[in-house]
Amino acid sequence: MGASYIGCEFAYMYSDFGSKITLIEISDYFLPKEEEIIVETIKKHFENKKINLITSVKITKINLLKWNFNWNWNKK
């Protein structure tokens, strides 16, 4: 959860390990402090690695299930 630069670094790393990744961001923008060209380049890399990105959401509940979890969220 969270698509800041730290969340993006971990997403990329865990994707390389073979994990299925979805980044969830509460704000309307992905990496809002970065220049648009940088954000678009990172988005393309994420698409190529099949990393999902969901913005403008509020997480309402997280269920932890052994080695898996699922969450409920609403669009803001």
Show me where the domains of the chain are located. Answer: 5-75
Name the CATH topology of 5-75: FAD/NAD(P)-binding domain (3.50.50)
Span 9-67, pLDDT tens digits = 999 999 999 999 988 888 888 887 889 999 999 999 999 999 998 888 877 777 776 66
Residue 69 clears pLDDT 80, i.e. is over it? no
Q: Which residues contact 55 (CB under 8 A, 6 or more apart)?
A: 3, 25, 27, 28, 29, 30
In this prediction, residue 17 carries a pLDDT of: 94
Q: Residue 19: what pLDDT?
A: 92
Q: Provide the pLDDT for residue 37.
A: 93
Q: What is the reported pLDDT for 41?
A: 94
Q: Which residue has the tokens 């997480």?
A: 59
